[in-house]
Structure 1
Amino acid sequence: MNKYKKLIELIENNGLEIQSKKCYDPQSAWHGEELWIVDKKKQNKIFDLSGNGYCFHDAKVEEAIEEVEKYLLLKKMDTFDDFKKWVEKNAKPKK
């Protein structure tokens, strides 16, 4: 699955949405649009696809996938076993 389909699937299958809001930078006179991935239920902002309204580009997709996956993992952390799995996955071995 390519990264675009993966991000769309993460958004559609987990109660998330993309919210857009026009923005303006008076210093540079640039107009843009913020594109936030948001949890529909809790309205938590998860990731700004637009890079604060002015930098929506391909590299943001991989960053968004990573942040959405982190958010979903933490959202589902209800038990010690969930926490233990997270620790095992994220523990950094000391050299």
Structure 2
Amino acid sequence: MTAVLQWVFGILIVATCCSSAYFSFRSRRSGNRRDSGLYASRMNISMGLMLIFIALIQMFIFTGSSVRVVVGSVFMLLGLFNLFAGMRNHAQFSRLPQ
């Protein structure tokens, strides 16, 4: 069961890392302010999910030590903040006119 979780979380981390890098490049290359903001918000959402998946690996797969719990909690908080900020920014930039 632990091996399956490691593979699933590993694949999810790689996928969200790749999507975060993709949206980062698209955000910087976009000339339109609205599209740039949308891509940046999608990058924040991807990065937040990646940090949440890293925190879940730290908390559930490895044996518990105080350092792992603290690092996992910090990653979880940073991930939730990025996820919330990305969703809020995506809602704001999607309302802008083209």
**TM > 0.5 fold call:** no
User: Does 1 or 2 have the higher relative contact order (CA < 8 Å, sep 6+)?
Assistant: 2
Q: Which has the higher helix share?
A: 2
